[in-house]
Structure 1
């Protein structure tokens, strides 16, 4: 297998995170902005 490591920086905690097999297979990687559910939920609390 020739898997290229894809990395993004989380918009909340600014930590790098890698593409997950689940995101890759569903074609979601371009839409992913947060490393975890916790970081994703923090943005909802900051907006309100």
Structure 2
């Protein structure tokens, strides 16, 4: 995804903005999903929080 965003930067101002935006959105969704999964696992498996 990082490579797609880097390559898309060259086309950002030429009217082909979706080449950068869609991989960027996918990266944000991926990071948020992993973060939420980690929080859920911490809450579910930590006996001190129960």
- Of Structure 1 and Structure 2, the greater strand share is in 1
Which structure: larger Rg? 2
* Fold shared, TM-score > 0.5 on shorter chain: no
- What TM-score, normalized to structure 1? 0.33
- What TM-score, normalized to structure 2? 0.32
Q: Which has the higher contact order (CA 8 A, sep 6+)?
A: 1
- Of Structure 1 and Structure 2, the greater helix share is in 2
